[in-house]
């Protein structure tokens, strides 16, 4: 397994990294976007730790791309994207180590008549094929929110976003994140495109690519995706399905703390973290300004967040030193969402819903502990032109865990309401 991984990755590096210097003219393009959101927040809090009633979240992304076409029709190129953001705009990042935080995606590609081959820091095939609920705001959506100011009441302001037991409302297949990988995209035939990707190690850098695995760290992650886009009887239709599998090549025995009752945290029964497995599907239909869609995800990553890539203090396990991001044996997190949107002229209107049910590790007293979460949203957007947009909206989040309380000793239950005003600029 180790030799095949090294051989395949090394061959991919050699084949794509040694792109020829051609006489054809090189084309350069660049762009970027900036988002600033202001919030009014009303959420549960503790008397000893005041919560911000107002907040802000900001992010900016800049990208550049170069490509050239050879005489034989093959296209060579590369793309790099940097991101800069406040702490409230970090919730959906994968946190996989190996590259500076401001480096978002960097990849090179080869495009032929038989498809495209990509190598670098990029979303996996299961994620990139995804089709989800329509949204008015890409950053203030509730399914995989990029701006998320809901605060953990037990932490100083704004030390941590609230995600009890790792509960993370996202239906995209984010198992491999932006880790270094090789991806193949087929040509789109009769509306169908098939993609596949391979992630040898859970890292965003080359230094760790051939190092040994940490305990319970997922590796050899394979993904496949199927994406269909077409028109049926005047309706624009999209559909996707994806599957992700990875392997825990260095398992250990783990015991994790579980918050089960007011002021009571108990040790889970000992277990060995499992191999990664998740799948998802989604669809969207559009007709005369209306869009309706939804998506579904089933994963054994606890809480549906990104995979853990760093051991907590005092633990030998890289991938399972806490519940969040641990791949639990025999336990699943199920997430689904749905939404509707309508666009007329410069105006956009939308509403959405997302829900999660997470199975927690077994304890001596119970094998059926769960963490639940739900979110609702409504939004209105106005586009001044193609480069300037403004969105205002409302979101509600509801969390409920096995303890069902929010106290200084732990918090797995929360109600939160927030209203936001977002300005977006594209260049």
User: What is the model's pLDDT at position 14?
Assistant: 47
Torsion of CA 125, 127, 131, 134, to 10 degrees: -150
Those residues whose C-beta lies under 8 Å from the C-beta of residue 89, and which sit 6 or more positions away, are: 35, 57, 58, 59, 139, 146, 147, 148
User: What is the model's pLDDT at position 219?
Assistant: 92
The answer to whether the CB of 16 falls within 8 A of the CB of 108 is: yes
User: What is the model's pLDDT at position 1?
Assistant: 45
The 10s digit of each residue's pLDDT in 178-189 is 999 999 999 999
Element (H, E) at 16: helix 2-17
DSSP per residue over 115-179, as a string?
A: EEEEEEE---HHHHT------S-SSS-STT-SS---B-TTSSTTS-B--GGG-----S--TTTT-
Specify the 3-state DSSP secondary structure of 394: strand
User: What is the model's pLDDT at position 222?
Assistant: 98
Radius of gyration of the chain (CA): 22
Supply the range of the domain harboring residue 85: 2-426
The 10s digit of each residue's pLDDT in 108-146 is 999 999 999 999 999 999 999 999 999 999 999 999 999
CA distance 421 to 36: 8
CATH number of the domain encompassing residue 73: 2.40.160.10
Based on the structure, what is the number of domains in the chain?
A: 1
CA distance 183 to 342: 34
Residues of the chain with pLDDT under 50: 1-3, 14, 17-18, 21-23
User: What is the model's pLDDT at position 8?
Assistant: 52
């Amino acid at each position: 397994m180790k030799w095949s991984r090294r051989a395949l990755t090394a061959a991919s590096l050699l084949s794509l990294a040694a792109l020829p210097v051609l006489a054809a003219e090189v084309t350069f393009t660049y762009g970027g976007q900036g988002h600033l959101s202001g919030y009014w927040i009303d959420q549960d809090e503790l008397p000893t730790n005041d919560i911000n009633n107002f907040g802000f979240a900001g992010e900016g992304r800049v990208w550049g791309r170069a490509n050239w076409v050879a005489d034989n029709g093959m296209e060579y190129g590369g793309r790099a994207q940097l991101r800069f953001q406040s702490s409230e705009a970090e919730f959906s990042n994968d946190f996989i180590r190996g590259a500076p935080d401001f480096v978002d995606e960097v990849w090179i590609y080869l495009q032929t008549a038989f498809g495209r081959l990509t190598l670098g820091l990029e979303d996996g095939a299961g994620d990139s094929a995804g089709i989800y609920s329509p949204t008015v705001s890409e950053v203030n959506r509730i399914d995989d929110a990029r701006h998320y100011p809901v605060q953990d009441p037990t932490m100083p302001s704004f030390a941590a976003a609230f995600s009890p037991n790792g509960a993370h409302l996202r239906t995209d297949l984010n198992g491999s994140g932006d880790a270094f990988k090789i991806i193949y995209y087929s040509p789109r035939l009769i509306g169908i495109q098939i993609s596949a990707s391979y992630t040898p190690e859970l890292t965003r850098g080359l230094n760790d690519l051939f190092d040994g695995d940490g305990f319970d760290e997922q590796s050899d992650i394979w993904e496949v995706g199927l994406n269909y886009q077409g028109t049926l009887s005047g309706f624009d239709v999209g559909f996707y399905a994806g599957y992700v599998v990875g392997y825990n090549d260095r398992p250990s025995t783990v015991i994790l703390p579980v918050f089960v009752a007011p002021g009571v945290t108990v040790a889970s029964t000992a277990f060995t973290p499992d191999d990664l497995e998740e799948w998802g599907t989604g669809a969207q239909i559009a007709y005369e300004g209306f869009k309706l869609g939804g998506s579904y995800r089933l994963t054994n990553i606890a809480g549906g967040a990104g995979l853990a890539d760093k051991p907590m203090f005092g633990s030998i396990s890289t991938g399972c030193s806490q519940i969040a991001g641990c791949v639990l044996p025999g336990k699943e997190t199920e997430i689904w969402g749905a939404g509707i949107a309508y666009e007329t002229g410069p105006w956009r209107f939308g509403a959405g819903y997302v829900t999660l049910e997470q199975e927690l590790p077994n304890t001596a007293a119970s094998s059926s502990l769960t963490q639940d979460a739900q979110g609702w949203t409504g939004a209105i957007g106005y586009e001044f032109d193609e480069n300037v947009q403004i969105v205002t909206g409302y979101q509600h989040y509801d969390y409920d865990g096995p303890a069902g309380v929010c106290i200084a000793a732990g918090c797995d239950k929360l109600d939160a309401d927030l209203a936001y005003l977002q300005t977006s600029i594209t260049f």
